[in-house]
C-alpha cells in the first residue's frame, strides 16, 4: 500500500491511502483512494504498515521542530515539462532526415510509435542508450550516414552520435517554438523553496544543452541562474537508474541524502533517487501513470496543489520511519 499526502487536508490530519483498483483494466488501472481521518497529534504523525496482509496505522515520533528538508531536487523531462512526446517527435524527425532503415531491408524510415516509446523511455534512460539498445535488438540500420549497417564499434558510435546531435537540435527548435509550458505548480514550488532558504537543484539524464534550453525557456533565465546545483547526463558516467547524478548533487549541495527530496515522474528516476539514499515523490505523466511507485513517499498527478510544507511533512515522516 502507498499513501498520497493531500495538501488541502494537511491541517486536519487526513492521509489518502492508495490501493490497487482491480476493477479497472490493466491499462487504465491507476489508484483507488481511501481517506483516513486522523485526530491531530502534537508530536506524532502516522504512516501505514502491512501486518498479516492487512493495512494498519502506526504512530511515528516526529519532533515538532525537526526540519529534515534541506534540498529540493527536480528532474526535468516529465517533471518540469511533459516532454516525452516532444522527444519522440525529434527522434522520428532525425530518423526521417537520415533515412534510417531498421532493419536495413525496411522500405520506410524508422518511426517509433507513441505506445512503443512510452515503454522504451520508461525502460532506458538517456537518448544514446535508447538507440543503442534498439539497434542491438532490431539490427543496426542503413542510413545516409552509412549506406550499409555499421559493423565496428567506432562506426556504430559515430552513427548514434550523429543521430543524437541532430535530434537534440531538432528538440531545441520545438522548445523555442513557444508552444511548451511548464507543468502546473512547478514554478510556485520552486519559489516557495527558495523563499524558505532551501537549496534547489535540477538533475536530468538528458543532454546538457537541451536541458539548459528547456530551463531557460520554461522556468526563466533568472530562476535557472539561481539554482544551487544543475546536473545533466553529460556530467556523470552512468545514466539513471544509476544513482550517480543524485549522489553528485548531494555532494555539491553539501547535504546528506536524507536531507534531500527528489521530484521524479518515472520508476527509473525513482530508483536513482532511492539508490542514492534520498526520498522521492512522483508527479506522474500519462506515459508513466501505470508504473510501480511503491518506493515513493508521495504520488501526485501534478504539483498544482502541493505546497512546500506538505513535502516537509512527508520527508519528516519518511525519515522518522527509517
What the block records as the C-alpha cell of 199 is 537549496
Distance CA 317, CA 46 (A): 7
Longest dimension (CA), the chain: 71
Catalytic site positions: 75, 77
Distances (CA, A) of 214 to 84, 129, 194, 264, 272: 13, 21, 20, 16, 22
Whether 262 contacts 289, CB under 8 Å: no
> What cell does 93 get?
524527425
Shortest CA distance to 282 belongs to which of 91, 11, 23, 30? 30
Buried b (16+ CB within 10 A) or exposed e, 248-265: bbbebbebebbbbbbbbb
The cell numbers describing 265, all together, are 515522474
Neighbours of 39 (CB within 10 A): 7
Separation CA 307–CA 69 (nearest Å): 13
Contact between 285 and 302 under an 8 Å Cβ cutoff? The reply is no
State the virtual CA torsion across 42, 10, 290, 132 in degrees, nearest 10.
-80
Amino acid at each position: 500500500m502507498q499513501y498520497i499526502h493531500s495538501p488541502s487536508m494537511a491541517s486536519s490530519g487526513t492521509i489518502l491511502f492508495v490501493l490497487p483498483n482491480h476493477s479497472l483494466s490493466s491499462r487504465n488501472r491507476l489508484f483507488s483512494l481511501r481517506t483516513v481521518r486522523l485526530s491531530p497529534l502534537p508530536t506524532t504523525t502516522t504512516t501505514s504498515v502491512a501486518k498479516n496482509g492487512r493495512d494498519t496505522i502506526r504512530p511515528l515520533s516526529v519532533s515538532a521542530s525537526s526540519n529534515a528538508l534541506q534540498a529540493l531536487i527536480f528532474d526535468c523531462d516529465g517533471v518540469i515539462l511533459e516532454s516525452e512526446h516532444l522527444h519522440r517527435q525529434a527522434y522520428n524527425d532525425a530518423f526521417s532526415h537520415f533515412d534510417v532503415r531498421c532493419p536495413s531491408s525496411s522500405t520506410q524510415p524508422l518511426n517509433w510509435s507513441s505506445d512503443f516509446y512510452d515503454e522504451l523511455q520508461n525502460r532506458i534512460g538517456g537518448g544514446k542508450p535508447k538507440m543503442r539498445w534498439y539497434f542491438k535488438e532490431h539490427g543496426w540500420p542503413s542510413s545516409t550516414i552509412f549506406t550499409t549497417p555499421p559493423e565496428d564499434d567506432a562506426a556504430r558510435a559515430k552513427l548514434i552520435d550523429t543521430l543524437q546531435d541532430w535530434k537534440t537540435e531538432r528538440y531545441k527548435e520545438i522548445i523555442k517554438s513557444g508552444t511548451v509550458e511548464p507543468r502546473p505548480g512547478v514554478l510556485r514550488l520552486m519559489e516557495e523553496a527558495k523563499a524558505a532558504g532551501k537549496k534547489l537543484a535540477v538533475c536530468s539524464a538528458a543532454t546538457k544543452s537541451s536541458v539548459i534550453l528547456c530551463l531557460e525557456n520554461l522556468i526563466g533565465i533568472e530562476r535557472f541562474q539561481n539554482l544551487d546545483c544543475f546536473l545533466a547526463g553529460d556530467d556523470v558516467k552512468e545514466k539513471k537508474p544509476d544513482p550517480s547524478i543524485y549522489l553528485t548533487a548531494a555532494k555539491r549541495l553539501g547535504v546528506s541524502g536524507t536531507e534531500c527530496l527528489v521530484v521524479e515522474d518515472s520508476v527509473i528516476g525513482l530508483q536513482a533517487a532511492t539508490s542514492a539514499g534520498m526520498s522521492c515523490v512522483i508527479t506522474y505523466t500519462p506515459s508513466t501513470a501505470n508504473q510501480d511507485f511503491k518506493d515513493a513517499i508521495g504520488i501526485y498527478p501534478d504539483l498544482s496543489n502541493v505546497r512546500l510544507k506538505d513535502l516537509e511533512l512527508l520527508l519528516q515522516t519518511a525519515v522518522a520511519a527509517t
